[in-house]
Structure 1
Amino acid sequence: MIRVLVVEDEPIAARAHRAYVERVRGFEVVGLAASRLEAERVLARGGVDLVLLDLHLPDGSGLDLFRRVRAAGSTVDVMVVSSARDADIVRSAVAQGAVQYVIKPFAFTTLRDRLLAYQDFRQQVDDTGAVDQLAVDRALSLLRAPSAGSLPKGMTKETLAVVVGALREFGEASSAQVAEVLGVSRITARRYLEHLADTGAADRSLRYGQVGRPETRYGLRRPDGPDGAD
């Protein structure tokens, strides 16, 4: 079981987040904290794998809590759950190591998909003592890719993770480039790329050459880029 601490000062939101987490197989909520100080006390006792962290707390910023936890040497994972949309705040959270950033308000499926992606990430890095570059790339890709439960019929999270990894390596790519990496048809590659774009995980743009039709290019959406559908 992945043990979760919910840090949220609004009682209704805290109960909702707890209910959402406990609906996902493999997760359990081991505590609720309504303030920075209360969260620090819970974390000091140990037994927490993942923190769902609100950034607006009555006795300080959630980012301050994040910094204090890291300064204390804790490697607990943090998933930010906040209404804050400021790009500087998002960058700061990512720079400190947030595994996800979920913008309020959100539906159950939004949090579920990110929890499942995090669960897959944990399995990738926990199963073996040493990992190679491919395993690292796959694990990191799983944090950003939608979960299998949200994929259209015929698509797999393993292939999607490879597509995400290819975009991360290229920076920007066409369906032809991704198809070559996957060893599949352009139609199949384009289907995965369009799914990433439709779900807000990637951006699409047109590149105009000197002759012929423009080429559609895809790139992973940066954390400080335009807001997604959630």
Structure 2
Amino acid sequence: MTLRVLVVEDDPVAADAHALYVGRVPGFTVAATVHSRAEAVRALDEEAPVDLILLDLYLPDGNGLELLRRLRAAGHTQDVFAVTSARDLAVIREGVSLGVVQHVLKPFTFRTLSDRLSRYRDFRTAAEAHGEAASQDEVDRALSDLRAAPASSALPKGLSAPTLARVTAHLREAASRGLTASEAATALGINRITARRYLEHLVTTGDADRRQRYGQVGRPEHHYAWRGSGPGATSGG
């Protein structure tokens, strides 16, 4: 079973990254990538069937939950992963009422999205294979498997989410040019060793590529590029 995903994200760089992530998870393919509510509606009307929507909640032509409400009224029943920086529990509750099965907070790593997509794939596979739950325990287990957060989601000791967000954003903005730990440190106002720890973390999680950049003198420096933006990137699973 291959699940088709519609990526709805207003930031083109983030949209490309999210599509790249989806394409690397076995059992998923990207049906289309769009950047607004209007484009999302057209894609759902015109594309082949979509199984899952990866939905940014802040779009240039309206709120993502308003889009979802409109889609439900029009008879669209796709499951939704809300992708957002919003931490308002009222927003999360409203999303759940509209069929959001996962909230993925920005910025996130490939590992985070991959875990949630894999759980969703397993949930769909089990639901279609068995059709009917034999007991309350089986229902509870299926929902728990779908919604549970991965044990590996915590950052390594000494790393903070706000600084990781800043490093991630700066690396994305560098695009194919990439950067070194020294360049990141200067731009972000942190020391080089700290910058390198965050960049190495992004390499470990599969979000960045590391290669050597040779200068005119001295030893080569490690050079980091956002995954999918540089010559060392891969788009496969």
- Tell me the TM-score range normalised by the shorter chain: 0.5 to 0.7
- Is residue 141 from structure 1 mapped to residue 144 from structure 2 by the alignment? yes
Question: Deviation digits for residues 72-106 of structure 1, max 9, x if unmatched?
Answer: 12211100011111121111111212110000001
1:67 shift after superposition:
0.5
Q: CA deviation at 1:50?
A: 0.4
Residue matched to 1:42 = 43
Structure 2 residue aligned with 1:113: 115
Q: Pairwise mapping of residues 79-158 of structure 1 onto structure 2 (< 5 A)?
A: 79-132=81-134, 133-146=136-149
- Relative to structure 1, the CA distance from residue 135 to residue 44 in structure 2 (aligned partners, 3 Å threshold; closer, same or farther) is farther
Q: Is the 8 A contact 1:6 1:53 kept in 2?
A: yes
After TM superposition, the structure 1 = structure 2 runs for residues 3-42 of structure 1, keeping only pairs within 5 Å, are 3-42=4-43
* Alignment check: 8 A CA contact 2:53 2:80 kept: yes
Percent sequence identity over matched residues? 57
- How many angstroms does 1:146 deviate by? 4.5
Q: Write out per-residue CA displacement over residues 115-170 of structure 1, whole angstroms, 9 at most, x where no aligned residue.
A: 0111111112111333333332222111122469x59xxxxxxxxxxxxxxxxxxx
Q: Is the 8 A contact 2:112 2:150 kept in 1?
A: no
Match of 2:80 in 1: 78
Give distance in 1, aligned partners of 2:14 and 2:118.
Answer: 21
Distance 1:105 1:134 in 2: 34
Shift of 1:113: 0.6
Gap runs ≥5 in structure 2: 154-237
SS at match of 1:85: coil
Aligned length: 150
| 1:100 counterpart letter in structure 2 | Q
Distance of 1:130 and 1:91 partners within structure 2: 27
Structure 2 partner of 1:204? none
| Residues 124, 135 of structure 1: 8 Å contact kept | no
Q: Hey, what does 2:65 align to over in structure 1?
A: 63
Contact 1:117/1:146 (8 A) holds in 2: no
Instruction: Classify the secondary structure of the residue corresponding to 1:84.
Output: coil
Q: CA separation in 2, counterparts of 1:129 and 1:27?
A: 21
For the residue of structure 1 that corresponds to 2:100, the secondary structure is coil
Q: Which runs of 4+ in 1 moved over 6 A?
A: none
Q: Is the 8 A contact 1:22 1:28 kept in 2?
A: yes
Following the alignment from structure 2 to structure 1, what is the Cα–Cα distance between the partners of residues 126 and 94? 26
Match of 1:3, SS?
A: strand
Change (3 A) 1:147 1:103: closer
Letter matched to residue 139 of structure 2: V
What per-residue deviation string (whole Å, max 9, x for no partner) do you get for residues 154-193 of structure 1? xxxxxxxxxxxxxxxxxxxxxxxxxxxxxxxxxxxxxxxx
Q: Secondary structure at the match of 1:127?
A: helix
**Structure with more relative contact order (C-alpha pairs < 8 Å, separation 6 or more):** 2
Amino acid at match of 2:138: A
| Structure 1 stretch displaced more, 117-126 or 136-145 | 136-145
Partner of 1:177: none
